[in-house]
């Protein structure tokens, strides 16, 4: 059989593997933008008045825009929002435990993780650490790409009913990773982290440290139809959004001013200083407008013309659990972007914004699908409703079809990331 390689999926796999934490995702996104000529902007500095392409980073959140020189008052903004965070296990402030001769790390579950998916995996660690310096404290990113921890599963001999009654894990007592054997000269996690970043233990003030699966992202299936990877939710959407913005910036034109916002903290509700519920995007749009000489009245007029695309992953029809899906709204991998609809506005799509995105897909010659949740199951949500409420901006929710959502390792169609990028690029026009 002839295999059609999904080159976009291979680039996405590299992006994911270089982005084990939201901070690293923003670092890698910033690198890609800088290579394309985007300039970094510090929030505490004046916004640039000159036409150009810019980005700013606030922790695990990045906002980027391409200004071709025209006023957003002419056609408003076209905004794509996604998120950089994924469910995982994060190291607590007092992490050192010693139990039955093992050294363990106290962790807290971040987001709605599938607990069992973290069992028996080779785990690395990444994040940021704050170090003491003359000015107070400075952040430094770190990434460990070797197995340093594991959450061992209980043997079936000691849990004879696991296959008949199922596995129920207590996150306080049964998700604690093992990372060494107890010994008298063990210095503890803080000393280990200090050595990792070349600092003294007393200079380590605080950390945002998280575990990640070390299995590399890969094309898979008998015809390479799939991408197996961690953090597809939602680095897949983030990667497509960046690709669409880079394409837009490479061929600037009059029309809407394109903006991409990659938020942190979606998996825990977004109501933080850098989540979609914060003022970060609203403030950036206003500062762009002010830098271009628009009044507040003109900004509101620009926003009234604007549209936001909220991009998060969608539930592909699961062949082993088909009863969990609405039979009239089954969506499939490698059949294009999924427009997500919920009349209770758990997804922000409405007929008008659905139609706008459908037309973008048609211009890009990209197929699309529509998803609606079963009425007797609780529906998830996205940054879409939050952004719509925060900005007062018309919004459509879309995503790529995937399985194993919120697992330590997920899967999607290998051709869908490219299809989404093409549709997003047409949406930005």
Amino acid 54: pLDDT: 98
88-213, which class in CATH? mainly beta
Q: What is the pLDDT of residues 135-179, one digit of tens each?
A: 899 999 999 999 999 999 999 999 999 999 999 999 999 999 999
pLDDT confidence band for 202 (50 / 70 / 90): very high
Place of tokens 């440290």: 209
Amino acid 221: pLDDT: 96
Q: Which of 117, 402, 127, 382 is nearest to 267 (CA)?
A: 382
For the chain, what is the radius of gyration of the CA atoms?
22
pLDDT confidence band for 3 (50 / 70 / 90): low
CA–CA separation, 217 and 211 (whole Å): 16
pLDDT confidence band for 183 (50 / 70 / 90): confident
Angle at 269 between CA 265 and CA 275, to 5 degrees: 40
Amino acid 269: pLDDT: 95
337, 366 contact by CB (below 8 A): yes
Structure token digits, residue 228: 């197996």
Amino acid 411: pLDDT: 98
69-91 residues labelled b (16+ CB within 10 A) or e (exposed):
ebebbeebbbbbbbbbbbbbbbb
pLDDT confidence band for 2 (50 / 70 / 90): very low
CA–CA separation, 391 and 343 (whole Å): 20
Superfamily of 7-86+230-428 according to CATH: Zn peptidases (3.40.630.10)
Query: What's the pTM value of the predicted model, to 2 decimals?
Result: 0.96
In Å, how far are 9, 358, 397, 423 from 4, measured between CA atoms?
12, 26, 29, 20
Q: What is the pLDDT of residues 382-428, one digit of tens each?
A: 999 998 999 999 999 999 999 999 999 999 999 999 999 999 999 99
Place of tokens 């970094």: 40
Q: Which of 216, 260, 222 is nearest to 64 (CA)?
A: 260
Give the percent of the chain with pLDDT over 90: 93
Domain boundaries, the chain: 7-86+230-428, 88-213
């Amino acid at each position: 059989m002839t295999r059609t390689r999904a080159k976009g999926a291979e680039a996405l796999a590299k992006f994911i593997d270089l982005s084990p934490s939201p901070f690293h995702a923003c670092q890698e996104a910033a690198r890609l933008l800088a290579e394309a000529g985007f300039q970094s902007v510090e929030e505490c500095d004046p916004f640039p008045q000159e036409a150009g392409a810019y980005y700013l980073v606030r922790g695990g959140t990045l906002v980027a825009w391409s200004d071709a020189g025209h006023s957003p008052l002419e056609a408003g903004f076209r905004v794509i929002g996604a998120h950089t965070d994924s469910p995982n296990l994060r190291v607590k402030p007092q992490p050192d435990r010693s139990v039955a001769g093992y050294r363990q790390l106290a962790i807290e579950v971040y987001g709605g993780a599938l607990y069992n998916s973290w069992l028996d995996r080779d785990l690395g660690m990444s994040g940021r650490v704050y170090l003491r310096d003359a000015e107070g404290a400075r952040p430094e990113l770190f990434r460990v790409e070797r197995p340093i921890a594991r959450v061992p599963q209980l043997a079936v001999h000691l849990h004879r009913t696991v296959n008949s009654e199922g596995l129920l894990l207590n996150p306080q007592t049964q998700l604690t990773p093992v990372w060494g054997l107890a010994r008298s000269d063990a210095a503890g996690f803080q000393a280990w982290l200090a050595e990792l970043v070349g600092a003294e233990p007393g200079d380590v003030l605080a950390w945002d440290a998280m575990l990640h699966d070390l299995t590399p992202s890969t094309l898979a299936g008998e015809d390479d139809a799939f991408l197996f990877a961690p953090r597809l939710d939602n680095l897949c959407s983030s990667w497509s959004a960046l690709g669409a913005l880079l394409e837009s910036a490479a061929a600037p034109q009059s029309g809407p001013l394109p903006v991409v916002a990659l938020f942190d903290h979606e998996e825990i509700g977004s109501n933080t200083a850098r989540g979609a519920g914060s003022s970060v995007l609203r403030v950036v749009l206003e500062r762009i407008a002010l830098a271009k000489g628009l009044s507040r009245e003109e900004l509101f007029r620009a926003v009234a013309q604007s549209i936001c695309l909220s991009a998060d992953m969608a539930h592909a029809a699961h062949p082993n659990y088909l009863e969990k899906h609405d039979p009239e709204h089954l969506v499939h991998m490698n059949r294009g972007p999924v427009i997500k609809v919920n009349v209770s506005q758990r997804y922000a799509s409405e007929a008008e914004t659905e139609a706008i995105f459908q037309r973008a897909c048609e211009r890009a010659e990209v197929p699309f699908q529509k998803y609606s949740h079963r009425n007797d199951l609780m529906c998830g949500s996205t940054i879409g409703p939050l952004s719509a409420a925060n900005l007062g901006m018309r919004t459509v929710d879309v995503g790529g079809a995937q399985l194993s959502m919120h697992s330590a390792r997920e899967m999607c169609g290998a051709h869908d990331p490219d299809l989404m990028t093409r549709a997003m690029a047409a949406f930005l026009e």
